[in-house]
Every structure is written in C-alpha cells, then in structure tokens.
C-alpha cells in the first residue's frame, strides 16, 4: 500500500476515544494450584492434548498488514534495513520524530476486510487440524481482543472486531480447542529502537490526529531508559531473559500484562496458552507474574495446557515444552510441541516469492514429531486482509489430501517401543536455543513408528509404520519387525496400506517385507497399519539365532579380495561370523550371559543388514588406464554436431543416450550433456520438466551407456560428480554383460555384474565408482541409468570425469581383516559407562591418557565424542585447554596395547573431521609409549593427522611389520598444548588388516642380488612385480617400502 492510501485512510478518522482503563487488578484464581514450582508440578498434560497432535496457528495481527515478514513492527525502525525500506516505499518514513507512519499508524491501517473466521476454521479442520491458536498479542503489544486493560486493541482500532472472540466462536462450532498466544512481555525492549521517533509520544501529542484520545505509551511502553545495545538489531536476543544490560520492566508494566492475560483467560476460556518467552513472561527478572498465570490457568481449568520455551526438568513438570522450528532427535518422556511456519511468522511478499515449505516437508515433520511424543503447531500466515494467497491454498489442499487418507496414523497415537529405523535414527541433530534445527533430509530408508492402543480387551494394538519417502522398489522391509529384532512383536494378524487396503507380506528373521502397489496411494509417504496375533511375540533364543546365522557366514574368512560392487559384503559377513563364534561360547552360560550375547549378536546382525552389499568407492590404486582407449575421452565430453549450438544442454558424441529427451526452451534439449558453469558433464535429471517429454520417451528408463570389449580381469569404472541431487534409489552406475538395450532400471541389481546407487555418490569431485570382475572375454556395457519418474520432481546428477582402469592383480594383496579380533569394534565406539548419554565420554576398549576436560552439560572430554550422532574416537581442545584435569596435554593419547603375531599389519582410519590439528598429532604404532615429539623418530609407523581429509570417505593408513610375536601400541597422540586453541579430530571408522609373514625367502634372495643389477620389486607374498605399486607396502631390493 502506498503512503497516499494510508493518508486517505487516516483522513476523517480523528477519533474522540472514550474508554476507561480498568484500575482493578484481576484476582488470581485460587484452588488446588499455588504459584510455586513444587506445587505446580502436580499438573499433568491432559489426554485430549496428547490425542489431537496437529494444530493450526493464525499468527495474525497488524504486522501482517505490513506484508514484509516477522518482527516487522520492530524492523521498520532500523534505517536502511529491509523492513524500513519496504515501509518507506509502501507507507511512509517511520524514522522521523513524531511520524505519522509509525507502528501505531499501521495498527489503524489493518482492517481485516476479507477475514471470515468460520470459513477458515472449517478449512483448517478439513485439512486435519484438531486444535487452533489465535494471536492474542505479539511483541507489538497490540491486543487482538476486546481488552479492557489495553486500549490499543482490535475492537477499538483497525478491524474494529473482536478477533479472538470471533475465532473462539468458530472453534466452538467445529469443536476445535482454542489456544491464545501471548508475546507482549518483551514490548518493553522490542520498541526501544523507536524511542527516537514516535515511541516517546504521549496522549497529548494526539490532538487533531486520528488517534486523539489514545496514549501511545499504552502501545509502545517506552518512557524508560533503553537497554544496553538498544540500537543494535540483534542485542535483544541476548537479553531475552532480562539480563545482559536489559532495561528492567516496571511493576506497573508487569501487572498490566498479567491483568491482560488473566482477563483473556476469564473471558474466552482458552484450552491453551502459548508464551514466547524463556519459560514464562519476565522469567529472569520476576517469576511471580508467570507463576501467577500458571496457577490461575490451572485453577480455572485443570486440563489447560500452557507452553514455554527452553525449559529445564523442573519446568517440564509444570508446563509444556514448546520448541520453535525444531525437533528433538529422540523421543521425550513428557509430551511437547513444535511450533513452526510454512514461511515467515508474519505474512511477507518476500516469503511468497521465495516459496513455502511443501506439504511433503510438513508431513515429514508431523510424522517425526508424533513418533517422539510431540504435537505440531503450524502457522500458515494470513495476509493483512484475512485471506490466504494461492500458494498457501495449494499447500492446504495437498495437506488435506494426505491427512484425509492417513490421519488415523496421527490422532490418538502414542510412542511405540522404538520411534523409528533408518539412517536418521542414530543421527545427532542438536537443538539450538529454543529450537531451530529444521530441514532434516528424510529418505525412503527412514521409518517412523507409533502405536494406537486397543480400547477394549477384545481389541489389539495397531502399529502405524510410515516410510518417509515412497521407495523406488515395489517392496520394502521393516527391519525392526523381523523375528530376530529386539522389537519383534509377533506374527502378523493384518497389514494394510492406508488408502489401498491389505498388502502381501512376508515375515522373516531380517524383517517384515511388504509388497507395495504399482500406483502410489498419495504423493508424499505411505503409511501401513499393522496388527499382531496375540501371544506370538516370543523372542528368538540365542541358539536359534546362531543356527540361522551360521550358514550366512560360511566361508567368510575376512580376506579382503576385490569383489563385484553390489555383491555380498565380505567384510560385513566376516564381522557377523566373528560375533557368531563369540555367541557360541555363551551357549553354556547363565541366562544373563546368554541374554547379553543375544543383544550383541542382534546388533551385529543389524549392522550386517545395513552393509550387506559391497559399496562403491575410490579406486584401489591407479591401474592400467583404459579410459581413452575404451571410452574415447575422460572429461569435457564432446557433443554431437547438431547440438554444438552454444546452448547449455546437448547430446554426447561418444555415449548412447536413450529415453532422455527433454526440451528446455532457450537452454536446448536435455539429451545427456549439461554444460552448467562451463563444464561439459554427462547428466540425467529432471527439474520440474517431466511433462516436456514426447510420448515415446520413457523417463523411468533414462540411460547413458557405452559398450566396450574387455578381456578377463578386475576393472574399475568410476566418475567424479559436481551434482548428485535428490536422486531416488532407482538411479544406478552399472557394468552389465553384453549390449543391454532392453535393460530395465529395476532389473539392474539382478542383471548387472556390478552396480551402485548414484544417490550414495559424493559431489565433491572425488572419484567414486564400481569394481567388477570379467571372467571371460566379452562385451560389457558401462553406464548410468535412472528412473526419473520416481521421487522428486527436481533431481539430477552430473558426471564431470570418467575413468576405466584394469588392476594388475599381482599388486593386490589379499590381507585379512582382524579389526574385531584385535580392536573389538570398528565404529560407533562403545562407552565405558553405557548409562552416560552426554556428548563426551570415555571409550570402553581404548585407554585415554593426559586428556580429561570437563565441558559442563556436554560431559567430560575423555576420548569419545558423539557430535555427529555416533560415537567417534576424539582428541581436541576448543578454548578449554586450561580445564584439563589429567596429565599434560602435550602427550594426549588414545591407544590400545595389542599382542601381535609375526606379520605385516595395516591400521586404517576414516576421519569424520580433522580441524586445525598441529603437525605434532599422529596415528601411530610403536613398541612402547612415547612422548609426542619422539614419535617421528622412534615409532614403527606414524601418519600426521593433519593430512587427513574431512569426512571424505578415504582410509588413512599406517603399515608396519614385526618378525616375531610381541606387544605393540597403536592409536592416536597429539600435542594439544601447541597450535590452535580450537583443534580436534574425530575418527569414525577403524580397520586393522593382517598378512602373515611370508616373505623371508624372497627378501633373502633379493638381498643376495649382486650390486649394479636392475631394481626388483616384490609384493608381500614374495611374488615378483613388473614395477612399483602406486601405493601400499612392497619390497624394493630387499627393503620394505611404504607408499
């Protein structure tokens, strides 16, 4: 709205207000509850709130008229800021003393002329909302109800309507519990920036103006000395608990706020109150106001719910924890709520243009929140006139569709035995301040569980299992429902896909496998309703489980030989075999010992299931490079003559592209090449353009391939990528025998020699690819293929380089993996005390010396760090050197003392991070513990930790040999007294490889070779090599060399 329009609105609106401010305080209701935390702890979250699960919030007040987002009433006073510029261009300059374009004037401009509360409540109810929140007052201090304690209210000014009252009537009609949100306690601080403009005006200044008779101080409350840092937009956040130089609110101001809230409770009987405060209003300077409100609320209605933020355990006994724009990463013992918005809190044109959360994202959050004992309160911002825009209406329609089909998996449910399974279950996603950890990337591997308990003894519980994305394959296995799983709940009585009906299924040790229909039942996520036959939930015995596992691991001896990518993971099978052997030793043990062994074997079995196929990765070493010979070019891929037109998209000259032809206007036609940012890359993908294809282009079989003729041997086909975005599970790199014009995308895991899912590839420019073995001379097709009709409408990959190489098998040393035998575990390292759940802890199997640093609520740094969501081995300081309680940080170490047989050993580590480590930090092997400065000269082997990459998927190794059985120390050691005050490393995976000592005869023979003759190379088996390996341990003229 332009300034002229606002002026017209104000013309003729000179109000001669006649109101009286009620001087009497509203009595605090008495009864069972008194205003102290111990007494208020008897409150319990009512069942009705735990049943409703999903609410809508109309975060709507005069700031919505500004149409430029949240905190507009404050931001408009910061000269040069976005809100200020918007206000100047649409209304006028607020940053002028005595301005007629301040926030008080925006309150009058808000008319809500198209607002229909009954229509909106019906819309929200149909969308699935089962409770509703109205804005009582925001930080702007404007009451949206007929408030006798605040003249600046929606009945006197602006809409001239009782906004809360009309919302309440509509909620009553549709049986929606009403909540009212109160944010006004911080107006005292919030408007301080406006003191230099119109926030110091008084009632006398209104003579002859539209607001004559009203006192701006009732709105702004700014007749006080401003807080320290008031002129800085961000300082207020550090003063939210009324410290750090915050101006302290007057008794009159606090009592006025209390009276307003209590009067609203008495007048409208809300079922819920929401406070945008740490704990309660004025917490940090005066607890009495908040405690009075709590006691009054519960004595008025014992089943009322009152929310606050950043609650500790005491507060959570007396009220409900609200998390803003965030989700805890684990279920909570007590009910809680997330509040979030599809855009900004208040309506903003910029949010409309940027785009809102999708229905997919909101369903993701709702399902995850409910599985963890929470409710979701969602704001869909209303425009100032009281309507939703077209994008919001589309969102509402999509949510309505999903909730109509799947709502029974939400309402009335409770936390099950486990909240979920999949990659995110063990991930760490910490909450920051009052929340702010949204944006979780769920996948088709993530599942969330809830249970709806039976209402009668004749009924059975129903477990609802939601797969967070539609799987690419038409089958899916719920691992936690398998016979061997700790959460096994019995034989299946019924299983239904909501919106479809009964589905075929099979229950096995590995899990419950269900058959999905050909057509998806919705566009977001499938939900299964599962019941179990009573009395069939007897857990598997240790003996039964061992008998099942033994055939799986037969022949798995730990030897690390190259195998086809996508084939069974030999290393995972070897690990499982190790634990099977350990479990057998417990069969004659006590009941407790067998139970403990069963827990360990279950864990190993689940780890095997997660890593059951051999993954793609970097090449073992630089083999004979056949790229140009077989694939013509390794990068900067050539175009066909007809697509050398300067446009972004084209067709590769040396690869066959099928079922991928998408016109994209002036950028050309997508046909397998993409010159994005000037790099000609092989590409498959869609970007909201599926409908552009011709009828004979089947995007479910989009492919780029090339057929080559290969002789027997072991090969590597790899690529580097600058984009791997939102690909489904049906997107592959593969090697397939012969020419495969009829290859179906879904058949690749069955028909290919080797395969890997492209959505597991890195997009950081590092090599990633498949190893495959050709047993006889033949044609082999190499390529990329994807079902682009599956999953997101925006998905793609771009391969910037390719390589094909053949390994010299004489250079491949088949070492044996002895990690578990020597080091007990390879990842997610156990804690010495399993009951310790803090971020930092002590490892169970590793010794830690000269490193013990308390870190308050995060625990004690002593070798374990759970920062990424799984326990890593860790050494490091973060501005906390002075807190070390043990030894000298110059020799901080984590280590194991091992008794090793003669042979050659390679210790490998994969790092989750290596940050600013000094040069004096090592992975090491030595015959005795050394000072850090002696490690380079006196150790058997060492590698500087600062050479390690950050979560790059690479193994960093040290190798050493011993000629006779002896003790060896292995681990990590650092001088943390030197270098950066913020340095650390975290080890996520370890591996120990062993090869028996077999080379003495070969070494002796080489040593006896007369001087002056040619150089000779041998591998550790004593086999002569044609030249030196690119990396690894080998023999050169009788001396061991490590590259």
> For the segment 634-653, what is each residue's pLDDT rounded down to a tens digit?
999 999 999 999 999 999 99
Instruction: Please calculate the CA angle 301-306-307 and round it to the nearest 5 degrees.
Output: 170
Distance CA 1018, CA 1041 (A): 10
> What does the pLDDT look like over 286-339, one tens digit per residue?
999 999 999 999 999 999 999 999 999 999 999 999 999 999 989 999 999 999
The per-residue pLDDT for 1002 is 37
3-class DSSP state of 1018: strand
User: Which among 220, 259, 258, 227 has a CA at the least distance from the CA of 242?
Assistant: 227
Q: What is the fold, at CATH topology level, of the domain defined by 624-807?
A: Jelly Rolls (2.60.120)
Q: Over range 784-811, report the average pLDDT.
A: 90
Identify the DSSP state of 39.
H
Among residues 269, 346, 279, 273, which one has the least CA distance to residue 306? 273
pLDDT at position 27 is: 97
Q: Is the pLDDT reported for residue 580 higher than 70? A: yes
Position 89 pLDDT exceeds 80: yes
Q: How confident is the model at residue 953 (pLDDT cuts 50, 70, 90)?
A: confident
CA distance 686 to 675: 15
The full DSSP string for 353-375 is HH-PPPHHHHHHHHHHHHHTTEE
- Write out pLDDT tens, residues 864-896: 999 887 899 999 999 999 999 999 999 999 999
In tens, the pLDDT along 506-543 reads 999 999 999 999 999 999 999 999 999 999 999 999 99
Is the per-residue pLDDT at 478 higher than 90? Answer: yes
Cα torsion for 36, 37, 38, 39, to the nearest 10°?
A: 60
CB atoms under 10 Å from CB of 537, counted, come to: 12
pLDDT computed for residue 555 by the predictor? 72
- Return mean pLDDT, the chain: 91
pLDDT at 1010: 32
φ, ψ of residue 383 in degrees (nearest 5): -65, 165
How many beta carbons lie within 10 A of that of residue 457, not counting itself?
6
CATH superfamily, region 816-996: Galactose-binding domain-like (2.60.120.260)
pLDDT for position 726: 86
pLDDT at residue 811, as a whole number: 64
Q: Selecting from 3.90.25.10, 2.60.40.1180, 3.40.50.300, 3.20.20.450, what CATH number does the domain 443-532 have?
A: 2.60.40.1180
- 988 in helix, strand or coil? strand
Topology alike, domains 443-532 and 624-807: no
Q: Which of 6-15, 584-593, 672-681, 887-896 has the lowest mean pLDDT?
A: 6-15
Helices H / strands E in the chain, number of each:
24, 49
Pick the residue with more confidence: 305 or 730?
305
How far is 936 from 276, CA to CA, in rounded Å? 57
Residue 949 has a pLDDT of: 77
User: Mean pLDDT, to the nearest integer, of 403-428?
Assistant: 94
pLDDT value at residue 1036: 60
Average pLDDT over residues 23-35: 94
Judged against a pLDDT cut of 50, whether residue 1005 lies above it is answered with no
Question: Where is average pLDDT lowest: 59-68, 153-162, 455-464, 1023-1032?
Answer: 1023-1032
pLDDT of residue 124: 98
Mean pLDDT lowest for which of 618-622, 649-653, 955-959? 618-622
Stretch among 574-583, 609-618, 634-643 having the lowest mean pLDDT: 609-618
pLDDT class of 20 with cuts at 50, 70, 90:
very low
pLDDT digits (tens, 9 = 90+) for 658-668: 999 999 999 99
In this structure, what is the dihedral angle of CA atoms 351, 354, 359, 363, given to the nearest 10 degrees? -80
Q: What is the pLDDT of residue 1003?
A: 36
pLDDT > 70? residue 908: yes
Tokens of 630: 């077989």
Q: Report the alpha-carbon angle 42-47-49, nearest 5.
A: 100
- Of all helices (H) and strands (E), which one includes residue 970? strand 966-974
Site of tokens 């709940």: 489
**3-class SS string, 241-292:** CCCCCCCCCCHHHHHHHHHHHHHHHHHHCCCEEEEEEECCCCCCCCHHHHHH
| pLDDT surpasses 60 at 1034 | no
Confidence of residue 1017 (pLDDT cuts 50, 70, 90): low
Q: Mean pLDDT, to the nearest integer, of 67-95? A: 96
At residue 68, does pLDDT exceed 70?
A: yes
Residue 866 burial class via C-beta count within 10 angstroms: exposed 0-12, middle 13-18, buried 19 and up? buried
Contact call for residues 680 and 653 (beta carbons, < 8 A): no
Q: Residue 794: is its pLDDT beyond 60? A: yes
Residue 557's pLDDT band, with cuts at 50, 70 and 90, is low
Distance CA 550, CA 545 (A): 9
What mean pLDDT do residues 557-581 have? Answer: 83
Q: How is the chain split among helix, strand and coil, in percent rounded to 5?
A: 25, 25, 45
pLDDT at 15 > cutoff 50:
no
Residue range 175-228, pLDDT digits in tens: 999 999 999 999 999 999 999 999 999 999 999 999 999 999 999 999 999 999
Q: Are strands 272-278 and 305-309 parallel, antiparallel or unpaired?
A: parallel
Domain positions in the chain = 3-15+45-408, 443-532, 567-610, 624-807, 816-996, 998-1043
* Whether pLDDT at 739 is above 90: no
Cα angle at 19 between 16 and 23, to 5 degrees?
150
Q: Is the pLDDT of residue 70 over 70?
A: yes
pLDDT at 728: 86
Measure the CA–CA gap between 822 and 816, rounded to whole angstroms.
Answer: 12
Residue 1000 tokens read as: 């003495």
Q: Is residue 119 over pLDDT 90? A: yes
pLDDT at position 300, please? 98
Q: Which CATH number fits domain 3-15+45-408: 3.30.70.20, 3.40.367.20, 3.30.360.10, 3.20.20.80?
A: 3.20.20.80
pLDDT the model gives residue 36: 97
Q: Which two tokens stand for residue 699?
A: 């995007």
Is pLDDT at 1033 greater than 70 in this prediction? no
Residue 188, H or E segment? helix 187-190
Distance from C-alpha of 944 to C-alpha of 919, rounded to nearest angstrom: 6
Residue 940: name the closest of 896, 895, 905 by CA.
Answer: 905
- Confidence class for position 561, pLDDT limits 50, 70, 90: low
* Residue 791: per-residue pLDDT: 75
The three-class DSSP label of residue 221 is: coil
DSSP 696: T
What percent of the chain is predicted at pLDDT more than 90? Answer: 80
Which of left, alpha, beta for 222 (phi over 0: left; psi -120 to 50: alpha)? alpha
Mean pLDDT of all residues in 625-641: 96
869: Cα separation from own chain's centroid = 10
pTM given for the model: 0.81
pLDDT digits (tens, 9 = 90+) for 452-471: 999 887 788 999 999 999 98
């Amino acid at each position: 709205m332009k300034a002229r329009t606002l002026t017209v609105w104000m013309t003729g609106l000179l109000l001669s207000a006649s109101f009286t401010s009620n001087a009497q305080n509203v009595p605090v209701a008495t009864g069972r509850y008194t205003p102290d935390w111990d007494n208020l702890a008897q409150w319990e979250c009512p069942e009705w709130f735990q049943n409703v699960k999903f609410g809508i919030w109309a975060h709507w007040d005069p700031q919505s008229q500004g149409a430029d987002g949240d905190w507009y009433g404050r931001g408009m006073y910061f000269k040069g800021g976005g809100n200020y510029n918007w206000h100047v261009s649409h209304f006028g300059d607020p940053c002028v003393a005595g301005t007629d374009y301040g926030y008080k004037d925006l309150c009058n401009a808000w008319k809500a002329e198209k607002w229909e509360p009954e229509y909106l409540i019906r819309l929200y109810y149909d969308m699935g909302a089962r409770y509703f929140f109205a804005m009582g007052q925001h930080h702007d201090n404007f009451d949206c109800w007929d408030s006798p304690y605040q003249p600046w209210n929606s009945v006197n000014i602006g809409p001239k309507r009782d906004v809360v009252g009309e919302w309440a009537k509509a909620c009553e009609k549709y049986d929606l519990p009403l909540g009212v949100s109160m944010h006004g306690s911080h107006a005292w601080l919030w408007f301080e920036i406006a003191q230099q403009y119109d926030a110091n005006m008084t009632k006398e200044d209104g003579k002859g103006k539209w607001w004559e008779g009203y006192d701006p101080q009732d709105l702004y409350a700014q007749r006080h000395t401003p807080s320290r840092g008031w002129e800085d937009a961000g300082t207020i956040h550090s003063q939210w608990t009324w410290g750090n130089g915050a101006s302290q609110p007057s008794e009159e101001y606090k009592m006025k706020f209390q009276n307003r809230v209590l009067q609203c409770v008495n007048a409208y009987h809300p079922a819920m109150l929401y406070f945008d405060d740490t704990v309660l209003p004025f917490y940090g300077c005066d607890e009495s106001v908040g405690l009075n409100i709590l006691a009054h609320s519960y004595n008025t209605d014992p089943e009322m719910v009152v929310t606050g933020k950043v609650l500790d355990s005491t507060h959570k006994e007396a009220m409900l924890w609200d998390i803003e724009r965030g989700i805890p990463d684990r279920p909570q013992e007590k009910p809680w709520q997330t509040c979030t918005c599809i855009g900004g809190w208040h309506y903003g044109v910029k949010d409309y243009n940027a785009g809102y959360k999708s229905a997919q994202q909101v369903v993701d959050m709702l399902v995850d929140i409910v599985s963890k004992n929470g409710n979701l309160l969602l704001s869909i911002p209303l425009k100032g006139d009281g309507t939703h825009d077209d994008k919001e209406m589309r969102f509402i329609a999509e949510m309505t569709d999903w909730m109509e089909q799947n709502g029974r998996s939400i309402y009335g449910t409770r936390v099950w035995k486990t909240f979920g399974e999949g990659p995110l279950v063990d991930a760490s996603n910490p909450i920051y301040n009052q929340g702010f950890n949204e944006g979780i990337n769920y996948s088709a591997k993530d599942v969330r569980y809830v249970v709806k308990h039976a209402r009668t003894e004749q009924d059975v519980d129903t477990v609802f299992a939601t797969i967070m994305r539609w799987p690419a394959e038409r089958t899916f296995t719920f691992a936690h429902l398998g016979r061997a799983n700790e959460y096994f709940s019995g034989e299946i009585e019924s299983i239904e896909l909501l919106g479809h009906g009964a589905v075929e299924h099979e229950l096995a040790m590995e899990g419950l496998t269900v058959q999905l229909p050909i057509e998806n039942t919705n566009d977001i996520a499938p939900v299964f309703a599962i019941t179990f036959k009573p009395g069939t939930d007897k857990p598997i015995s240790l003996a039964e489980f061992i008998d099942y596992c033994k055939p799986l691991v037969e022949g798995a001896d730990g030897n690390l030989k190259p195998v086809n990518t996508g084939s069974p993971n030999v290393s995972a099978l070897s690990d499982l075999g190790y634990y099977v052997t350990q479990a057998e030793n417990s069969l004659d043990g006590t009941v407790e010992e067998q139970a403990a062994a069963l827990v360990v074997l279950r864990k190993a079995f689940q780890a095997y299931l997660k890593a059951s196929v051999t993954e793609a990765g970097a090449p073992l070493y630089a083999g004979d490079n056949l790229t140009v010979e077989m694939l013509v070019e390794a990068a900067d891929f050539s175009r066909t003559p007809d697509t050398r037109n300067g446009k972004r998209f084209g067709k590769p000259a040396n690869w066959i592209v099928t079922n991928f032809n998408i016109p994209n206007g002036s950028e050309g036609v997508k046909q397998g090449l993409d010159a994005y940012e000037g790099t000609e890359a092989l590409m498959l993908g869609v970007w909201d353009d599926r409908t552009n294809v011709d009828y004979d282009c089947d995007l479910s079989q989009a492919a780029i391939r090339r057929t080559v003729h290969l002789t027997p041997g072991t090969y590597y086909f790899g690529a580097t990528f600058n984009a791997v975005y939102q690909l489904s599970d049906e997107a592959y790199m593969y090697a397939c025998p012969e020419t495969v014009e009829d290859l179906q995308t879904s058949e690749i895991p069955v028909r290919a020699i080797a395969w890997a899912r492209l959505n597991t590839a890195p997009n950081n420019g590092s090599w990633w690819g498949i190893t495959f073995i050709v047993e006889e001379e033949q044609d082999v097709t190499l390529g990329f293929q994807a079902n682009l009709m599956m999953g997101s409408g925006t998905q793609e990959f771009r391969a910037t380089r390719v390589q094909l190489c053949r390994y010299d098998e004489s250079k491949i040393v088949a070492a044996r993996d002895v990690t578990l035998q020597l080091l007990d575990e390879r990842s997610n390292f156990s804690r010495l005390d399993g009951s310790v759940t803090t971020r930092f802890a002590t490892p169970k199997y590793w010794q830690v010396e000269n490193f013990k640093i308390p870190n308050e609520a995060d625990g004690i740094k002593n070798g374990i760090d759970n920062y990424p969501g799984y326990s890593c081995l860790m050494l490091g300081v973060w501005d906390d050197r002075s807190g070390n309680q043990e030894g000298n940080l110059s020799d901080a170490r984590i280590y194991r003392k091992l008794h090793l047989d003669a042979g050659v050993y390679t210790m490998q580590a994969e790092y989750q991070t290596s940050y600013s480590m000094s040069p004096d930090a090592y992975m090491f092997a030595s015959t005795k513990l050394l000072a850090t400065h002696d490690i380079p000269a006196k150790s058997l082997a060492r590698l500087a930790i600062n050479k390690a990459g950050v979560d790059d998927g690479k193994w960093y190794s040290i190798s050493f040999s011993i000629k006779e059985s002896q003790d060896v120390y292995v681990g990590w050691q650092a001088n943390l007294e030197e270098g950066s005050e913020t340095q650390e490393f975290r080890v996520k995976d370890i591996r120990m490889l062993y090869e028996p000592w077999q080379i003495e005869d070969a070494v002796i023979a080489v040593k006896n070779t007369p001087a002056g003759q040619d150089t000779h190379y041998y591998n550790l088996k004593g086999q002569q090599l044609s030249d030196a390996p690119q990396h690894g341990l080998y023999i050169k003229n009788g001396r061991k060399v490590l590259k």
